[in-house]
A and B are shown apart, each in its own frame.
Chain A
Amino acid sequence: MPPILERARRFESLADLGIIDAHCHVGPWFNFHVPRRGSMESMIEVMNRVGVEVACVTACLSVGPDMKRGNDLVLEFHGLYPSRIVPYCTVNPNYPKEIPGELERTHRAGCRALKFHDIHGRRYDDAGYRTAYEFADAHELPVLVHTWGRGNGSVLAEMCRRHPRARFLFAHAGSADREEYVRWVTEIPNAYLDLVFSAMPYGSVEYFVRRTPLAKILYGSDLPFLSLTQQIGKVLMARVSDEAKRSILGLNARGLFAQALAVRETTPTAHRV
Chain B
Amino acid sequence: MSGFNLEFFDACVEIGPRTVRDEDQPWTLEDYRTDMEHFGIAEAVVYHSVAKEYDPAEGNRRLLEEVQGDVRLHPQWILLPPDTGELPPPEELAAEMRARGVSSARLCPGQHHYPLEEYFLGDLLGVLEDAATPLFLEQAEAPWPQVVKICTEHPRLQVVTTRTRYRETRVLPSLLKKLPNLHVDTAVLADHCILEEYGRRFGPGRFVYSSSWPFLSPASAMTLIGYAGLDEAGKRAVASQNLRRMLQRRSP
> Which residues of A approach B to under 8 Å, CB–CB?
5, 7-13, 31-36, 38, 42-43, 45-46, 49-51, 198-207, 223-234, 236-239
- What A residues does B191 contact at CB under 8 A? 32, 34-35, 226-227
Complex Cα spacing A74 to B196, Å: 25
19 A-B pairs (CB sep. < 8 Å): A9-B40, A9-B222, A10-B3, A11-B1, A33-B170, A38-B192, A201-B25, A203-B24, A224-B193, A228-B192, A229-B223, A229-B226, A230-B223, A233-B217, A233-B222, A234-B219, A237-B39, A237-B217, A237-B222
Complex Cα spacing A100 to B60, Å: 64
Q: A35-B196, A38-B192, A201-B215 are in contact. List 19 more A-B contacts (CB 8 A).
A: A8-B226, A9-B5, A11-B227, A32-B169, A34-B169, A35-B193, A46-B192, A49-B229, A202-B25, A202-B26, A202-B215, A203-B25, A203-B217, A227-B191, A229-B226, A232-B227, A233-B220, A233-B224, A237-B39
- Contacting pair A12 B224 (CB below 8 A): no
Complex Cα spacing A198 to B6, Å: 23
- What B residues does A11 contact at CB under 8 A? 1, 3-4, 6, 223, 226-227
- Contacting pair A226 B192 (CB below 8 A): yes
Complex Cα spacing A198 to B194, Å: 14
Within 8 A of A (CB), among B189-240: 189-194, 196-198, 212-224, 226-229
Complex Cα spacing A254 to B58, Å: 54
Contacting B169 at CB < 8 Å: which of A8, A35, A205? A35
- Contacting pair A230 B224 (CB below 8 A): yes
Q: B38 near A: Cβ within 8 Å?
A: yes
Within 8 A of A (CB), among B155-189: 163, 166-170, 173, 187-189
Q: B22 near A: Cβ within 8 Å?
A: yes
Contacting B188 at CB < 8 Å: which of A198, A204, A223? A198
Interface size class of chain B, counting residues whose CB lies under 8 Å from the partner chain:
35 or more
- What B residues does A9 contact at CB under 8 A? 5, 39-40, 222
Q: B2 near A: Cβ within 8 Å?
A: yes
- What A residues does B4 contact at CB under 8 A? 10-11
Which single residue of chain B is at the shortest CB-CB distance from A32?
B167
Which single residue of chain A is at the shortest CB-CB distance from B220?
A233
- What B residues does A45 contact at CB under 8 A? 229
Q: How far is the CB of B237 from chain A (nearest CB, A)?
A: 15
Q: Answer whether A229 and B228 are a contact pair too, CB < 8 Å, given A201-B22, A223-B192, A237-B39.
A: yes
- What B residues does A10 contact at CB under 8 A? 3-5
Q: How far is the CB of A179 from chain B (nearest CB, A)?
A: 11
Which single residue of chain B is at the shortest CB-CB distance from A25?
B192
- Contacting pair B193 A227 (CB below 8 A): yes
Which single residue of chain B is at the shortest CB-CB distance from A29?
B167
Q: How far is the CB of B18 from chain A (nearest CB, A)?
A: 12
Q: How far is the CB of B224 from chain A (nearest CB, A)?
A: 4
- What B residues does A8 contact at CB under 8 A? 219, 222-223, 226
- What A residues does B217 contact at CB under 8 A? 200, 202-205, 233-234, 237-238
Complex Cα spacing A83 to B191, Å: 25
- Contacting pair B216 A34 (CB below 8 A): no
Q: How far is the CB of B55 from chain A (nearest CB, A)?
A: 25
- What B residues does A42 contact at CB under 8 A? 192-193
Contacting B190 at CB < 8 Å: which of A31, A203, A227, A238? A227
Complex Cα spacing A5 to B5, Å: 13
- Contacting pair B22 A236 (CB below 8 A): no
Q: Answer whether A231 and B220 are a contact pair too, CB < 8 Å, given A35-B169, A46-B193, A207-B24.
A: yes
- Contacting pair B216 A230 (CB below 8 A): no
Which single residue of chain A is at the shortest CB-CB distance from B232?
A11
Which single residue of chain A is at the shortest CB-CB distance from B1?
A13
- What A residues does B168 contact at CB under 8 A? 32
- What A residues does B220 contact at CB under 8 A? 200, 230-231, 233-234
Contacting A237 at CB < 8 Å: which of B25, B196, B219? B219
Complex Cα spacing A137 to B134, Å: 58
Complex Cα spacing A224 to B192, Å: 5
Q: How far is the CB of A93 from chain B (nearest CB, A)?
A: 26
- Contacting pair B170 A49 (CB below 8 A): no
- What A residues does B216 contact at CB under 8 A? 199-202
Which single residue of chain A is at the shortest CB-CB distance from B198?
A35
Complex Cα spacing A232 to B24, Å: 21
- What A residues does B223 contact at CB under 8 A? 8, 11, 50, 229-230, 232-233, 236-237
Complex Cα spacing A225 to B197, Å: 15
Complex Cα spacing A234 to B221, Å: 9
